[in-house]
Amino acid sequence: MVSLGESVIFAVSDSIGETAELVARAATVQFNSGHVEIRRYPFVTDIEYVKEVIEEARKLKNCAIICTIVLPEIRKSLVELAEANNIPIIDIMGPMIDIVSKITSIKPKLEPGLVRKIDEDYFKKIEAIEFAVKYDDGKDPRGLAKADVVLIGVSRTSKTPLSMYLAHKRLKVANLPLVPEVSPPEELFQLPPGTVVGLTISPEILYKIRQERLKALGLSSDATYASMDRILKELEYADGIMKKISCPRIDVSNKAVEEVAARILEIIRRGEDW
């Protein structure tokens, strides 16, 4: 029986090597895995590094290599050098890529680390969505300083739908309603230029939207919320706040969320001021 620590598996990858190590551990646990040491060799992306791995393996009596290398030339070199030195090697990624390519008739991207990038992208998106929900409609002004972009405007200017749409683009978005009776939090006036985007809308269109909103809620259309006088007062107040901040403004009248979001993304990229 081989003594403790004498057997080594080299988990070799052109990315971080997590998959190779997990597979190795899943196998060795069937043999009381304390008898096998697993050494991870990540980011093996050139022939010199491949040679270094082989040299390390040659020094050991009982060792094997498990690899998840996407780059064809690097994978081929590692397999050939391992076989030439009688080092057992298992190539996980190569055969799997070949099979998927065959059944889909699609050429692989051959880009190391794509799984990790996809996972990171997914978690950033979830984080952004949770942020948008937490800091929607001015719930917590402390979120303004943490946001990538802050949307301001009167009620019914698509602040929430835009926040959620942009969250799916991995942007942390907070939004704040502008109401004449409620002074904006001081945090709003302390944000760096290019962070705040003002949403404007024509009074006539806002009037129709609010009338429909009242109808959907089963409320009287005579409510002050949907009166033209009230709407004009709110828009004038919002315009004053936006001028004070000197933020870029977007007219959302008759525009789809996707169209407005594209404009917001453009403003952020260019760092526009009003």
What's the mean pLDDT in 149-157? Answer: 97
Residue holding tokens 């040659």? 58
pTM to 2 decimals? 0.62
3 alpha carbon, distance to own chain's centre:
46
Averaged over 28-42, what is the pLDDT?
84
Which of 13, 19, 11, 118 minimizes the C-alpha distance to 70? 13
Is it the case that residue 75 has pLDDT exceeding 50? yes
3-state secondary structure 214-270: HHHCCCCCCCHHHCHHHHHHHHHHHHHHHHHHCCCEEECCCCCHHHHHHHHHHHHHH
C-alpha triplet 33, 38, 40: angle, nearest 5°: 155
Instruction: Report whether pLDDT(1) > 60.
Output: no
Buried b (16+ CB within 10 A) or exposed e, 224-246: ebbeeebbeebbeebeebbeebe
**In the predicted model, what is the mean pLDDT of residues 19-47?**
87
- Give CA 198 to chain center in angstroms: 25
Rounded CA-CA distance 181/198 in Å is: 18
Band (159; pLDDT cuts 50, 70, 90): very high
Q: In what order do the strands lie in the sheet with 196-200?
A: 173-177, 149-153, 196-200, 249-251
pLDDT class for 3, splitting at 50, 70, 90? very low
Write the pLDDT tens digit of every residue in 89-142. 999 988 888 888 888 898 888 777 776 666 677 788 889 999 999 999 999 999
State the average pLDDT over residues 260-269: 92
Asked if residue 23 has pLDDT above 70, the reply is yes
If one compares 228 and 268, the residue with the highest pLDDT of the two is 228
How much is the mean pLDDT over the chain? 90
Give the whole-angstrom CA distance, residue 260 versus residue 128: 19
Would you give the DSSP letter of residue 155?
Answer: T
